[in-house]
Chains A and B, each alone.
Chain A
Amino acid sequence: MPLTKHNHPEHWIQVRPAGLYCIPAETYIDPWQAVENAIITHGHADHARAGHENVWATPATMAIMRVRYGEQHSPAQHHIEFGERIQLPGAEPVFMTFYPAGHILGSAQVLLEYRGARLVMTGDYKRTPDPSCEPFVAIPCDVFITEATFGLPVFQHPPIQHEIQKLLSSLARFSERTHLVGVYALGKCQRVLLGLREAGYTKPIYLHGAMLKLVQLYQTFGFDFGECIAVSDVSDLNLLAGEVVLAPPSALTDRWSRKLPNVLTGMASGWMQIRARTKQKGAELPLMISDHCDWQELLDSISEVNPQEVWVTHGREDALMHQAQKMGYVARALRLVGYDDE
C-alpha cells in the first residue's frame, strides 16, 4: 500500500526524550527511561532497561532481562514468539510482530503495522552466520529503520573463523602468555566460545565472574560450550599461562587483570578494524568479531528489504544516508524525524 498523509509513519512514529515512540500504540521501542509500555528488541543494556510497566519481548530476551535485572524487572512481561502477530494497546489497532535480527540470542526486529503501512525497526542486527542466534530475515516494509553502528565503507568484517585462527596462532607462538580476550558478556562471549570449539579448541576456557550467569543462561537454551571454568575457581593463577581467559572489556586494564601471569591482551570487536581504536584499548591482538552489520551487509539489507524510505539511526548516519539516496531511496536520519514533528 502506498504511503499517504493518512498512514505515513512520519505521522505516527516520533523520537521523544525517552526514545522511539509509536503514538497510536502509546508504546516505546527500546526506551532509555522507565516507561508505561516498552517493546524490547534485545537484551543489551543500552536497549533493555529495567522498570517498564509492560514489556513485550521474545522469551530469550525476557530471560536475559530477568538474569540482569531480577525476576521482577517488570510487572507485566509479555513473551512474544517470532512470527506471532499481536495487537498493541491503544484505541486504533497497531499490530506488532517480531522477526529474528541475528544479533544475539533472542534479538528481534520489530514490524509495526498501522493503517496498512508497514514499518520495520531492526534494532541491532547482522547478516553473518552466528550459531548462537536465529538468522536475520528480510521483512518487506514501507519504512525500514536500520542501525548504522558500522555505517562506513571502511568496515568489512572478516569471517569469524579467520579471527579465531588468529587467536589460535598467537596461542601457539606465545604459549607462555595468558591470552586475555575482552568480549561483551552478552552475545560476543558466547559466540567466541562457540567459535573456538568449532575450530577444534578443546582445552578448558576460563571466564571472568561477570560472564558466568549469561553463559549459564545460554546453556539452559541448549548451547554446549565445552568445559568453562571461572577464574575465581582456579587455585593457582600461574596455571593460566598459555590459556584463554574471557573477560568484559572493562576488566582488561583493571586490577583484576594484573593478577594474571604474563598477559597478552586481545579484544573481540568490530572496532578492532581501526588501528587507532585498537591502540586506545591497549589490545595487542585485535580480533575483528562484530555482532553488527558491516557496510556491505547494511547495503544488502536495504536492497533486499527494498522499502520506500530508509531511516538511519544508531551510529554513523551520514554515510549510509548518502549511499541509500544514491541507491534511489528516500533516506533520513531518524533523529530528524522526531524534531520535524515537534
Chain B
Amino acid sequence: MMNKLSELFDALYFTASNKAKSVLLREYLATTCDPERGWAIAALAGTLQFTHYKRNTVKKLILERVDPVLFALSYDYVGEMSETVAHLWPNEPDPDFVMPTLSEFVAFMQTAKKSEIETQLIYLLNNCSPNLRWTLLKLGTGGLRVGLSARRLKHILAEYGQSHQAAVTVHDIENLWHGLTPPYTDLLLWLENSGPKPDISEKVVFHPVLLAHPLQEDDKEKVTYTDYLAEYKYDGIRVQIVVKDTEKALFSRTGDNISHSFPDVLADFNLPGVYDGELLAMREGVIGSFNDLQQRLNKKKPSKKLQAEYPCGLVLYDALFVPTSIVEPKKEKLTCQTEQSIKNICHLTLVERKRYLRATMQCFESTISLFSEAFTVHNTAELDQLRTEACSDPSGYTEGLMLKRKDSPYTPGRPKGVWYKFKRDAQLVDAVIMYAQRGHGKRSSFYSDFTFGLWQNDPAQDALSEQPKLLPIGKAYSGFTDIELKELDKWVRKNTIGRFGPVKEVNKTLVFEVAFDAAHASKRHKSGVALRFPRIHRIRWDKPALEADTLPIFKKTHQIK
C-alpha cells in the first residue's frame, strides 16, 4: 500500500543510524509482497523513472492552485519543491477515492498519456495527506533523499539475504545490480532463498569500478613503492567499455550509459570483454588536451562534423573480462583466436590482468585504444619528480600519477591501500559572490550554494568609464564549516538586492578564495571560462571586492583564448 511506503520513506528519512534504517527496510521487505516492494527498492535506488511526470509538471499544477506570491515565499522558506507542494496542495478529498497500490501507480505512470497523467495526479494529490503527497511527488520528480546511499541499500539487501540463510555478499549484489531491472522480483526471491541467483552473464551491463584514494602526505611513508605499479593519470573521463557478442556499451564511472555520446569510439572498438580506461581526445593515436575533449562532453548526439573535428579514443589500463581464447599470456607466446566468449579475470592480480590486457590488445588490433604503460617508482623523491613532470607536460593530457598495488584483485568500491591517485595541486582564484541559493538536505534552510565571478576588466581602470562588471565563472557549495555557513547565511540575508525565484542576487562585496583542479574554455558561460571541481577554500571577509581577480589575467594564466 502507498501508506505503508510513505511511512517507510518518512521513517528512513528521519532515522539517523544505519542499523535502524536496515531494520526498517528489512521489516518492510519481509511484510510486503511482490512487485510492490521491488518498486520501493527502485524508488530508493533511483532506478524508477517516468517520462511524463516531472518537476515542471508539478510546478505548473501548483501555480494553478496557489497564489504565486505565497508559493514563492513558501518555497523560499522550505527550500525544496516537493515538500513545499506537499504542504500547499489544497485538500479536496473525494469519498469514493481508492488509493492505488505502488505497482498500479507505476504501471499507470509508465503507460498513460501526458494529459491523463496530469488528471490522475491532481486527483491523487487532492486525496492525500501531506506526507503521502511528499512520497508521490518524490517518486515522480526523483531525488528521494532519505539518507540511504546506493551502497548502503545494497548492504541492507545483502543483510536481508543473509537473514534468510542465502549465501549472498554485498559484492554479489554490486555485481548483479546493473544487470537487473525493477521490480527486482528475481533478486528478492534469490535473497529469500526461494529462487536461483539471477543470471546476467548474457547482458551488457556496467560492472562497478575500483576507485582510488588521494595519496596523502603521510601515505607516502606507509607505502612500499616496490609493491606498486605506477601509471600516468590521464586527464579525460573514466569509462568502462563492455563488448559481449554483438552488443557494446560505454559507461561512465558511475554506470551511466554514455554510448550515444561517443558512437565513433564504440564503432571502432572491437575487443570482446570489459575494460577500464580513460576516454580522451585522440587523433590517430595521438592524445589531445582536455580542452579538446571538452567539446565532446555533454553532447547527447554529436554531429558527424563534431566527431570528425574532435575524434576521441581510449587509454586502457585494466581488464575485468577478456576473451576466453587469451590463455596464460607470457611475453613471447600468445594465442590469438577470434572466438568471442569472455571470462572474468577480476580475481587475478593487477600484474596478471595487465598482461592479459596487453595480450588482448595485441591480438585484436584496435585503432583507437592505447595501452597504459606501467613503471616502477623507487622512492618519494622520484614520485614527486615524476608527478611534477606529469602535471606540467605541455601536451596537457596527464594530471598526475596513479599507484596501484601489484598483487591486488579488481574489487569494486574504494578499497584501502589498493589504488592511489596523486594529482596536481589545486589552483586558487579570488572571485566575488554574485548569487546565493539554499542548499539541500541538512543545509536547506541556509544559503549555501554560491555563484561567483571575476571582473570583466580591471575595475581600477574601468572605474572612470562605467560600472565595473562581473561575469560568473562557476558555482560551489562545499568547503564550509557549520559556523561559516551560518555567517554566510546572515551575510546573504543582509546583502540581498534582488530575487529570481529561489536565487538571490547579492551585493558584489564579498570575496571567496576558490580552489579548483583545472580551468578550461566554456561556451556555456558568458565569461568563456569553466572550472573543474570548484570548491570554496576560504572566505576572504577582509579582501575588498575590487581586488578580486580579473578575467583577462585569469584567462592568460590558464591559456584560455
Contact = CB atoms under 8 A, between A and B. Distances in A.
Interface of A: 152-156, 273-280, 282-286, 316, 318-319, 322-323, 326
Interface string B434-476: 0000000111110000000000000000000000000000000
19 contacts: A153-B66, A153-B70, A153-B74, A154-B77, A154-B78, A154-B87, A156-B130, A274-B77, A274-B445, A275-B13, A275-B83, A276-B445, A278-B14, A282-B16, A283-B14, A284-B16, A322-B67, A322-B69, A322-B73
- Which secondary structure characterizes the binding site on chain B? helix
B67 A326 contact: yes
Nearest to B24: A173
Contacts of B70: 152-153, 319, 322-323
Given A152-B74, A156-B87, A323-B70, 12 more contacts: A152-B77, A153-B70, A153-B87, A153-B88, A154-B77, A154-B78, A274-B83, A276-B443, A276-B445, A282-B16, A284-B15, A319-B70
Q: Nearest 4 CB-CB pairs, A to B? A: A154-B87, A276-B444, A319-B73, A154-B74
Nearest to A323: B70
Contacts of B441: 276, 279
A211 to B, nearest CB: 24
Contacts of B79: 276
B174 interface: no
Contacts of B67: 322-323, 326
Contacts of A154: 74, 77-78, 84, 87-88
A146 B242 CA distance: 66
A104 to B, nearest CB: 25
B186 interface: no
Q: Interface residues of B toward A: which range?
A: 20 to 34
B209 to A, nearest CB: 31
Contacts of A274: 77-78, 83, 445
A319 B74 contact: yes
B227 interface: no
Contacts of A273: 87
Contact of B14 (A284, A318, A326): A284
Contacts of A280: 442, 445
Interface string B80-91: 100110011000
A153 B70 CA distance: 7
A322 B77 CA distance: 16
A156 to B, nearest CB: 7
Contacts of B88: 153-154
Interface in B1-44: 13-16
A274 B79 CA distance: 10
Question: Which of A273, A274, A285, A286 is packed against the most chain B CB atoms within 10 Å?
Answer: A274
A303 to B, nearest CB: 17
Contacts of A155: 87
B14 A286 contact: yes
A279 B79 CA distance: 14
A277 B74 contact: no
Contacts of B130: 156
Interface string B249-278: 000000000000000000000000000000
B27 to A, nearest CB: 9
B210 to A, nearest CB: 33
A163 to B, nearest CB: 13
B69 A276 contact: no
B14 A276 contact: no
Contacts of A326: 67
A282 B443 CA distance: 13
Nearest to A274: B78
Contacts of A153: 66, 70, 74, 87-88
A157 to B, nearest CB: 11
A141 B15 CA distance: 47
Contacts of B14: 278-279, 283-286
A155 B74 CA distance: 9
A172 to B, nearest CB: 14
B16 A276 contact: no
Nearest to B17: A284
A274 B131 CA distance: 11
Question: Which of A276, A319, A323 is packed against the most chain B CB atoms within 10 Å?
Answer: A276
A171 to B, nearest CB: 15
Contacts of B444: 276
A278 B444 CA distance: 11
Contacts of B80: 275-276
A276 B74 CA distance: 14
B77 A277 contact: no
Contacts of A278: 14
Interface string B406-448: 0000000000000000000000000000000000011111000
Contacts of A277: 445
Nearest to A277: B445
A285 B66 CA distance: 30
A193 to B, nearest CB: 23
Interface in B52-75: 66-67, 69-70, 73-74
Contacts of B73: 152, 316, 318-319, 322
